[in-house]
Amino acid sequence: MAEAAATAVKRKLMAKGGGGDAVLHAFGQAIARAAHDLFALSLRVNAQSISLRSLTELPELLEDHALLTLLDGPKEAIGLCAVGAGLLSALIEMQMTGRIGPTAPDQRRPTRTDAAMISPFVDAVLMGVTAALEESDDRVWASGFNYASCLEDPRPLQLLLEDGALKVLRIGLLLGNEAIREGSILLALPSNGRAQAPASGTGNAAEGARDWSQSLERAVLGAPVVAEALLGRIRLSAQGMLDLRPGMLLPLPSESIGRATLEVGLGGTFARGRLGRMRGMRALRIDELSEIAAPEPAVFVTPLPPPMQGLGSARSSAATVGADRADHAQDNARDARARLERTARQAS
C-alpha cells in the first residue's frame, strides 16, 4: 500500500517537471561537447535513464571509486555529479598523455587533484545543459548549477543534500574513436526546481548562447596544460637504437647547447629560452614568444662509444707529461743552487 502510494507520488512529480527526455538529450550532448572541446576525447552515449529517487536511495546508485562533486544551484539548491571511474581515468589520461589506452587502469580512490583537473569539465557540462534548456520547461529544475567542491566519501551526502525527491540522470558512454573503453556519469538534482521559468522571445535565447560561449571559454582557459622544455631532437637508425649501451654518447647540435624550446603536446613550439639555475634548481628563461610553429626537425646522429678507454689513456699521458716536467724543474733548481754555492765560495 505504502509502495503504491510512493509510486503514485513519483509519477505526479515526474509529470509536473516534465518527462526528462529533453534533459537527457541535453546532458548527453553537453558531455560529448565538453569532452571534445576541452580534452579532444571522442565519446558517444551508450545508455541513458532518468528516475525519481529518494535521498536514502542515492548512495546505492553510485559507482565504486567515482569522483563525487557537489554542485551549487539556484536559490541555495545543492546537487551531485558523480563521474564514474572509467570516464575519470580517460579524462585524466587525455590531459596527461593526449590519448587513452586500450584498457582502463586499475581503479583507485579519486583525489582532490583529480577533482581540480575534472572541475572544468563538470562546469562545461552543466553550462551546456543550461544553455540547451533555455526554452524548455525542464530548465526550472535542471539548469543553473555549477561545480562547488569534491566529496571524498559518500556518507556525508545524507547531511549535505536536502531530504527530498531527486531526479537522477545516468548516462553510459563509449570512449574513444573506436569505443575501446566504457564510462559513466550520474547527475542528481532536486526535483523541486528553483530556476526561473523559460522566457519568451529570441533575445533571451541569444543571451543564453552568449553565456554558454563565455562559460566554455572560462572552462577551457582554466584547464591544466602540460608544457615540455626540449634541448633538441635527434634521429637514430634502427641498428643504432639496438646498439645503445650504458655510457654511450649521443651528440647534440651545437646550437642546442644551452638553448631550449617550450612545446605543448602536438601543437608545436611557442617559446624559446635559455637553460639556467634559480635557487638551486634548473630553470628556463624565456627569451622570445612566437606563434605556434611546427616542432624543429630532428638531426640524424651516430652514437659514440663510451669514452672510458680513451679518457684513461689521455689521463695517463697527461700524468706522464706532468711528471717529466716536474723532474726537469727539479734538475734546474739543483743546478741553480750549485752555481750559487760555487760563486759564494769564490767570493770568500
Model confidence at 171, in pLDDT bands (50, 70, 90)? very high
Model confidence over 17-55: pLDDT tens digits? Answer: 445 788 999 999 999 999 999 999 999 999 999 999 999
Name the residue among 109, 83, 98, 259 with its Cα closest to residue 183: 83
Model confidence over 269-323: pLDDT tens digits? Answer: 778 888 877 777 778 888 888 776 666 777 777 888 877 554 444 444 444 445 5
Angstrom CA distances, 208 to 123, 127, 167, stand at 15, 10, 23
Check residue 295 and give its pLDDT.
67
**pLDDT above 70: residue 133:** yes
Mean pLDDT of 176-180: 87
Residue with cell 569505443: 179
Mean pLDDT of 335-345: 68
Could you give the percent of the chain with pLDDT greater than 90?
A: 35
Identify the burial level of 113 via C-beta atoms within 10 angstroms of its C-beta, where 0-12 means exposed, 13-18 middle and 19 or more buried: exposed
In the chain, alpha helices (H): 2-17, 21-39, 58-61, 85-97, 112-132, 139-142, 157-160, 202-221, 238-242, 308-347
Angstrom CA distances, 171 to 37, 43, 141, 222, stand at 19, 12, 18, 25
Check residue 8 and give its pLDDT.
45
Angstrom CA distances, 169 to 26, 166, 188, stand at 11, 10, 6
Highest-scoring range by mean pLDDT, 18-22, 71-75, 215-219, 309-313: 71-75
Q: Are 300 and 235 in contact (CB under 8 A)?
A: yes
Check residue 344 and give its pLDDT.
66
Check residue 321 and give its pLDDT.
46
Question: Can you tell me the distance from the alpha carbon of 308 to that of 324, in angstroms, rounded to the nearest whole number?
Answer: 24
Check residue 12 and give its pLDDT.
44
Single pTM value for the model: 0.56
Decide: helix, strand or coil at residue 3.
helix
